[in-house]
Structure 1
Amino acid sequence: MRITIEPLEIEAHLATVHSWVTHPRSAYWMMLDATLEDVAAEYERIAGHPHHDAWLGRVDGAPAFLVETYDPARSELAGITHVPDLAPGDLGMHVLVAPTSGEPVSGYTTRVFRAVMRHCFADPGVRRVVVEPDVRNEPIRRKNTEAGFVELREISIGEKTAMLSVCTREMYAAAHLRPENLRVAHRHLVAKAIAEFSHERMLAPVATDTGWELPGPSSTYTFAARRFLLDHWVVDADSIVRRIGGEEQEVDAQAFVAEFAPDLGIPDTLLPTYLEELAATIASACWKLEHQTLTAADLVDADHQSVEGAMSEGHPAFVANNGRIGFDIDDHARWAPETSNDLSLLWVAVSRDQSHLALGRGEDEDRLYAAELGEATLARFAAKLRGLGLDPAGFRYLPVHPWQWRHKLAVTFAADVAARRIVLVGSGEDVHRPQQSIRTYFNTSRPERHYVKTALSIQNMGFMRGLSPAYMAATPLINDWVADLVESDAELKERGFGVLRELASIGWTGDIFHALPNPSPYRKMIAALWRESPVPRLAEGERCATMAALLHRDAGGASYAAELVRASGLPARAWVRSYLDAYLRPLVHCLLAYDLAFMPHGENLVMVLRDHVPVRMFMKDIGEEVAVMGDLPLPEEVSRIRGSFPDDVKALAVHTDIFDGVLRYVAAILDDEGVLPETEFWAEARACIVDHAADHPELAEAVDRYDFLRPRFRHSCLNRLQLRNTLQMVDITDQAESLIFAGTLANPVANPVA
């Protein structure tokens, strides 16, 4: 359900608004006897009022509700002497949802009300929303309290006895933290914990006559579940029953982890940290349950950023996957990807002799800044520096997240700011939107401009999300090398496979932390890079979406992947084969032809869709997550991407990263929704690999060496990494040595299936 709010043009919508306000269900709007002329006069009066506005709300493009906002200090409320607590930053609000004659849609009014509250608080100057519903209007009073309003007192406004109620920004930000959402979040996370921890063989549920049972030190859990290939579990969250001493208890994700911590291998010293990250994941889940409104069907025709912001799960394997430790409740409401809020990046000038700028082939510093900022903004930044007596020629410009400036740069690097080695020069003109990877931002003002990725010093999913200036110095060169290889390969060109180059990186190195002998997270707090946007590379009739969306289920359980298949009109097996030819086949080819491995999880690929079918892919996040696992000649400046891996680990770039990390979820989702049996899905995956080998006899030796069709492969586990060290899962300079294995998995493509 797509909800938009726009200024009301009463001339265009007079008949509609008149029918709404005069409907018997709108009695509390107090216009039941109004004529068309009365309604026109009232909203023309509002249009001419400097402190009162009327808005038209649409649902999926159709007029659906009416909103009025006003300044309470300049309304009849201000004349009521026993209302002493109106304050600067207050915004009055009325809302009327269009009466309907059909069956009510569950959650419809709630979604509209949330959209209205977001609209009110979109103005940063608004600190409180004030409402005064008729005391008899119990339904709207309940909606108010659910949204965070506090009822203050009854007041008399003309002929109406009203309930004066207020909702502060802080109250609204915490309104999602309520029992109804918590129960759903707890059950979802316990279901996921049972599924993923069982998949990684840390827990061992026992089959019973009625389902499954998981006995713990103090609790016993019973539940229903389906098991798929690759030992993939889908646990029915609603079926979970927790008992202690035979008595049923509330399902609680933190209690679950604390109880099973010895089985999960969480060190005692790090258990509180993991529980904190789990609590933040619960808070994020509650927010999504409260606010996200788009269904899987809505997303089928949605634009790239609408799909990106609708994701509700985070990483599919990790249980604590939305930690963002460091964000407070307002930060989450303002900056989290699921809020779909735009942000204006701040820019700092950093001294040229204590920073570095690395540029890819064909890039130039002046052209980069001119293309990303524009001449007017550059002139404004230069004027700021000159006003401080500084020469702009001695500085470079570096984008930073507003949170990072307030919490880190202006405090942790106060000495550098005061000495004017780092100078805040202002905001850019463009607005950006956070992606699911949270520290990467898409330019919504000018989508053809580059993504921007900045350091963001929050703890999330086992890492502090910083960026290392030293490590990124080679990033543009690595991207150039990978892009050249991909673009020169006939197979990859035929598949339309491409990379989104990280074509420039910048970092500050003039602080005291860079002068210390040992590395630390403090060296990763002031850096950024620019990555190509996919938008200029889309053809007519194409659109893009994060591949992570294929694993997305909406609040009702419907999946985006299944909706795409249905919307395409193709047989499900043909749709899957197109997807695999766009995704699996190019990555298999890169391994066989070049020993080149990417990190191909869902958020690292952008799907190009045509008629709802994935037809090609763009790979991103190249600089940090690409490896050459053989002796392919490399230029010295990119040699760091060469890794030494045992032969049985090399093939895990397909078996673990693609089969276990992505495709087991897609296969189970399509099977679960009755779209395609998983055996047929894996049959297409096998055929994709076999057909590639047949098309490339010159790669026969590599085909035998990698042996993607082997009966079993080593079971590399992700949660075990995070649970072992919740602060740093892996050593990025030696990732192979960080792997943890739990036996082997049966290969779903090992044997032909009809």
Structure 2
Amino acid sequence: MRITIEPLHIDEHLTTVHAWVTHPRSAYWMMLGCTPEETRAAYDEIAAHPHHDAWLGRVDGEPAFLCETYDPLRSDLAGIAHLPELAPGDLGMHVLVAPPAAEPVPGLTTAAFRAVMRHCFADPAVRRVVVEPDARNLPIRRKNTDAGFVELREVGLGEKTAMLSVCTREAFAASHLRPENLERASRHLVAKAIGEFSHERLLSPARGASATTYSLEGPTSRWTFEARRFALEHWAVQPASITRTVGGAEAPVDAQAFVAEFARDLGIPAQLLPTYLEELAATLASACWKLEHQTLSAADLVAADHQTVEGAMSEGHPAFVANNGRIGFDVEDHARWAPETSNDLRLLWVAVRKDQSHIAVGRGAHEASLYDDELGAETLTRFADVLRSQQLDPADYRYLPVHPWQWRHKLAVTFAPDVARRSLVLVGEGNDAYRPQQSIRTYFNSSRPERHYVKTALSIQNMGFMRGLSPAYMRATPAINDWVADLVEADVELKERGFGVLRELAAAGWTGDVFHTLPEPSAHRKMVAALWRESLVPRLGANEQAATMAALLHRDAAGTSYAAELVRASGLEPRTWVRTYLDAYLRPLVHCLLAYDLVFMPHGENLIMVLRDGAPVRMLMKDIGEEMAVMGTLELPPEVERVRCDVPDDVKALAIHTDVFDGFLRHLGALLDLDGVLPEAAFWAEVRGCIVDHAADHPELAEAVERYDLLRPEFRHSCLNRLQLRNTLQMVDLADQAESLIFAGTLPNPVANPVASPD
């Protein structure tokens, strides 16, 4: 369900509101006997009150609930303004969900209530929400306490005895941490852990009495579950089927307990196990938040815009188990800035000395025009005035965007001497609102969608890395992006497929700190940098939508998959839909490998699907500067030479086999089979057909086709979780990623000859 809240205009909605407030189920609203004229007068009075507002809530566009907000210290409610418990920063709230016309919609009241709470806390000046429900109204009191309210005491308010209750911003931010949410989140994460650790051959479940029943024996627990197995040793474990027994008695399904019990088998170093368990806890907390707050169905997302889909994702990386760590964020940080909250933020800007910093721009971009276009003359004047007020010359400085968290937790502390000596100057907040993307340190401009994405350093620990940005490493980023964009634009095959790149066309970094004078690199060198990437919005046609490719693996709260809904919405036969998708995604990647020895990191978050009538018709690649490589002797400009890597021949084809087949397609193929959309064997037949057809269309690449042999019977099994489990702080050496790989034998290639699933 899609929930929106807007000011109530009683003239437009009098009939509806009157029917709601006079319904017998609305007795506690205390307006049962009101006539339409009296109802209008009551809400006219609220509209005229400077400290009282009425709001209409819609669900999927239809009126569904009513709420009121008011300043309790200036309230006309009998006696409430004089209660000693009230304080500045309090906001009073009432909510009334429309009495159901038929069967009640499960979860509607909770979803509406939490939407109202988010609406209240959207004002940063609000520190607490105050409610005073009738003390007899036990259901709404339970809703209140579930949302983080603390009941203070009963108070007499005119015609009712009320239960005065307050909810702080912090309490609401943590209110998703409830037993029922943890139960679901833990089962999901244990199911994923069993599946992915078994896929990587770290665990070996024993088959039970039936073909789909398995068990794992740990030092203290026995875990049993039901699962189906698919190609590439993919395990689809049913979360609801998991049972844990300790000493013959059933015990809670606990994700942290599971990892702690099997830590030796998983190869987690003892000194790093607490860090991994912390990332698991944060991943569970994120999952609990999504279970509590996200209400959109997979069908809703089919018609949604890119940012709505982006904020609705319930899963992080499909292979990594601890994939939403974000160590460094507190509960309020998460509620404000995590992608799944779909909240906008305003970036802070710092001025850095030009002689201690650099900016690199791509073709067609210039430093001055970049700032003019992204900030505008008024904001630039405001920033310059801040510098002048400190007797600093704006001509000596350039500007960098920083995340508010990064300023408070890192820049103002770690670089305090530099702030004091005015090498680093906070000049203020930008005017534009930005929306965090699934790649959490990248932001979409919500105010001006045609403006660039911004990516900043964000020094939180997430999925095996500190999420910094290296000023030195990014110097070549615009040049690399220009070179890749030119190559893609000039290639007939890629152009026909509509394959494109979103260029990172400017990168800036500050290096004036003491950490850049030390001989050894560190995370401290990656804390003050930013880049600008082209917006996808100008690249979309009138009848096109966009969604991050990771969305294809999304399931809503009811378990329905976004991919299945797209197939249904397209009207295409499932095999045709899959081939359309593969021709947009897989075929360009195969072509880049065979024609240029050029590889990307094509996981779900790095590709934007362009959809037309529910079908992915073309792809836009991003994160080019950090995640692409040339593995051959292709001539490169000097400024791009950094991307060349020396990779063993048996590893080169893994750019398709591991990164595409194992990294994404095994998940999608299993999902479509489980949902009854397309049998797995038919899915992999289409993958094979896509590769074979490309080879037939390009006889000039026959030597490369033979050399890479993408249809070989098996390929090396490169394992992602093993990397994170080995070193939870830095999975790989970014300067030599191939040498960091960990292998676990080989995997049968599902496109060598399409085969039935193992079960």
**Which bracket does the TM-score occupy, shorter chain normalised?**
over 0.9
> Which whole-Å CA distance do the structure 2 matches of 1:600 and 1:553 have between them?
21
Which residue is equivalent to 1:337? 339
> Which whole-Å CA distance do the structure 1 matches of 2:224 and 2:393 have between them?
69
TM-score (norm 2): 0.98
Amino acid of the residue matched to residue 441 of structure 2?
A: R
Deviation of the 1:387 alpha carbon? 1.3
Which of the residues 630, 634, 637 maps onto 2:636? 634
Which residue is equivalent to 1:274? 276
Q: 1:234-261 CA distances to partner (integer Å, 9 max, x unpaired)? A: 1011110101121111111111101100
Amino acid of the residue matched to residue 484 of structure 1?
A: D
Which of the residues 710, 721, 729 maps onto 1:708? 710
Q: Give SS of 1:383's match.
A: helix
Which residue is equivalent to 1:19? 19
Q: Give SS of 2:735's match.
A: coil
Q: What is the correspondence of 1:533-552 to structure 2 with a 5 Å cutoff?
A: 533-552=535-554
Q: What is the correspondence of 1:428-467 to structure 2 with a 5 Å cutoff?
A: 428-467=430-469
Deviation of the 1:588 alpha carbon? 0.2
Which residue is equivalent to 1:571? 573
Question: Does residue 184 in structure 1 map to residue 184 in structure 2?
Answer: yes
Deviation of the 1:82 alpha carbon? 7.8
Q: 1:65-97 CA distances to partner (integer Å, 9 max, x unpaired)? A: 000000111124573598311011100000000
Q: What is the correspondence of 1:131-142 to structure 2 with a 5 Å cutoff?
A: 131-142=131-142
Q: Kindly tell me: are residues 518 and 125 of structure 1, through their superposed partners in 2, closer, same or farther at Cα, counting changes over 3 Å?
A: same
Question: Does residue 748 in structure 1 map to residue 737 in structure 2?
Answer: no
**Preserved CA contact (<8 Å) 2:73 2:82:** no
**Preserved CA contact (<8 Å) 1:214 1:221:** yes
Which residue is equivalent to 2:608? 606
Q: 1:24-56 CA distances to partner (integer Å, 9 max, x unpaired)? A: 111111111111110110000000000000000
Which residue is equivalent to 1:667? 669
Amino acid of the residue matched to residue 344 of structure 1?
A: R
Q: Give SS of 2:262's match.
A: helix
Deviation of the 1:636 alpha carbon? 1.2
Which residue is equivalent to 1:239? 241
Which of the residues 525, 531, 534 maps onto 1:532? 534
**Preserved CA contact (<8 Å) 1:680 1:753:** no
Q: What is the correspondence of 1:79-158 to structure 2 with a 5 Å cutoff?
A: 79=79, 83-158=83-158
Which residue is equivalent to 1:591? 593
> Which whole-Å CA distance do the structure 2 matches of 1:85 and 1:137 have between them?
22
Question: Does residue 53 in structure 1 map to residue 53 in structure 2?
Answer: yes
Q: Give SS of 1:396's match.
A: strand
**Preserved CA contact (<8 Å) 2:79 2:157:** no
**Preserved CA contact (<8 Å) 2:72 2:81:** no
TM-score (norm 1): 0.99
**Preserved CA contact (<8 Å) 1:77 1:83:** no
Q: Give SS of 1:183's match.
A: helix
**Preserved CA contact (<8 Å) 2:5 2:55:** yes
> Which whole-Å CA distance do the structure 1 matches of 2:281 and 2:141 have between them?
30
> Which whole-Å CA distance do the structure 2 matches of 1:381 and 1:563 have between them?
47
Deviation of the 1:637 alpha carbon? 1.0
Which residue is equivalent to 2:499? 497
Q: Give SS of 2:505's match.
A: strand
Question: Does residue 283 in structure 1 map to residue 285 in structure 2?
Answer: yes
Q: What is the correspondence of 1:374-523 to structure 2 with a 5 Å cutoff?
A: 374-523=376-525
Deviation of the 1:752 alpha carbon? 4.9
Query: What number of residue pairs does the alignment pair up?
Result: 754
Question: Does residue 28 in structure 1 map to residue 28 in structure 2?
Answer: yes
Q: 1:432-452 CA distances to partner (integer Å, 9 max, x unpaired)? A: 000011000000111111000
> Which whole-Å CA distance do the structure 1 matches of 2:755 and 2:236 have between them?
23
Amino acid of the residue matched to residue 27 of structure 2?
A: A
Question: Does residue 212 in structure 1 map to residue 199 in structure 2?
Answer: no
> Which whole-Å CA distance do the structure 1 matches of 2:365 and 2:166 have between them?
53
Question: Does residue 257 in structure 1 map to residue 296 in structure 2?
Answer: no
Q: Give SS of 1:251's match.
A: coil
Deviation of the 1:388 alpha carbon? 1.2
Q: Give SS of 2:43's match.
A: helix
Q: Give SS of 1:161's match.
A: strand
What runs of 5+ residues in structure 2 fail to find an aligned partner?
none
Amino acid of the residue matched to residue 435 of structure 1?
A: Q
**Preserved CA contact (<8 Å) 2:672 2:678:** yes
Amino acid of the residue matched to residue 17 of structure 2?
A: V
> Which whole-Å CA distance do the structure 2 matches of 1:377 and 1:74 have between them?
36
> Which whole-Å CA distance do the structure 2 matches of 1:562 and 1:281 have between them?
26
Which residue is equivalent to 1:323? 325
Q: Give SS of 1:713's match.
A: strand
Amino acid of the residue matched to residue 237 of structure 2?
A: V
Q: Give SS of 1:398's match.
A: strand
Q: Give SS of 2:287's match.
A: helix
Q: Give SS of 1:457's match.
A: coil
Say which is worse superposed, 96-105 or 61-70, in terms of deviation: 96-105
Amino acid of the residue matched to residue 529 of structure 1?
A: L
**Preserved CA contact (<8 Å) 2:132 2:162:** yes
Which residue is equivalent to 1:10? 10
Q: Give SS of 2:656's match.
A: helix
Which residue is equivalent to 2:645? 643
Q: 1:529-578 CA distances to partner (integer Å, 9 max, x unpaired)? A: 00011110111101111000001111111100000001111111101010
Q: Give SS of 1:224's match.
A: strand
**Preserved CA contact (<8 Å) 2:199 2:233:** yes
Q: Give SS of 1:195's match.
A: helix
> Which whole-Å CA distance do the structure 1 matches of 2:170 and 2:346 have between them?
22
**Preserved CA contact (<8 Å) 1:76 1:157:** no
Identity %: 78
**Preserved CA contact (<8 Å) 1:224 1:236:** yes
**Preserved CA contact (<8 Å) 2:65 2:96:** yes
Q: Kindly tell me: are residues 80 and 662 of structure 1, through their superposed partners in 2, closer, same or farther at Cα, counting changes over 3 Å?
A: closer
Q: 1:599-634 CA distances to partner (integer Å, 9 max, x unpaired)? A: 000000000000011000000000010000111011
Q: 1:391-418 CA distances to partner (integer Å, 9 max, x unpaired)? A: 1111000000000000011111111111
Q: 1:276-317 CA distances to partner (integer Å, 9 max, x unpaired)? A: 111111111111111111111111101100000011111110
Q: Give SS of 1:734's match.
A: helix
Alpha carbon RMSD of aligned pairs, Å? 1.0
> Which whole-Å CA distance do the structure 1 matches of 2:108 and 2:44 have between them?
29
**Preserved CA contact (<8 Å) 1:177 1:283:** yes
> Which whole-Å CA distance do the structure 2 matches of 1:704 and 1:163 have between them?
76
Which residue is equivalent to 2:67? 67
Q: What is the correspondence of 1:613-624 to structure 2 with a 5 Å cutoff?
A: 613-624=615-626
Say which is worse superposed, 176-185 or 80-89, in terms of deviation: 80-89
Q: 1:666-687 CA distances to partner (integer Å, 9 max, x unpaired)? A: 1111111101101111111100
> Which whole-Å CA distance do the structure 1 matches of 2:140 and 2:754 have between them?
60
Say which is worse superposed, 274-283 or 596-605, in terms of deviation: 274-283
Q: Give SS of 1:248's match.
A: strand
> Which whole-Å CA distance do the structure 2 matches of 1:359 and 1:69 have between them?
48
> Which whole-Å CA distance do the structure 1 matches of 2:271 and 2:42 have between them?
65
Q: Give SS of 2:177's match.
A: coil
> Which whole-Å CA distance do the structure 2 matches of 1:204 and 1:549 have between them?
30
Q: Kindly tell me: are residues 436 and 468 of structure 1, through their superposed partners in 2, closer, same or farther at Cα, counting changes over 3 Å?
A: same
> Which whole-Å CA distance do the structure 2 matches of 1:39 and 1:159 have between them?
18
Q: Kindly tell me: are residues 336 and 360 of structure 1, through their superposed partners in 2, closer, same or farther at Cα, counting changes over 3 Å?
A: same
Which aligned segments of 4 or more residues in structure 1 are displaced greater than 3 angstroms?
none
Q: Give SS of 2:126's match.
A: coil
> Which whole-Å CA distance do the structure 2 matches of 1:28 and 1:512 have between them?
64
**Preserved CA contact (<8 Å) 1:350 1:508:** yes
> Which whole-Å CA distance do the structure 2 matches of 1:112 and 1:42 have between them?
23
> Which whole-Å CA distance do the structure 2 matches of 1:615 and 1:413 have between them?
47
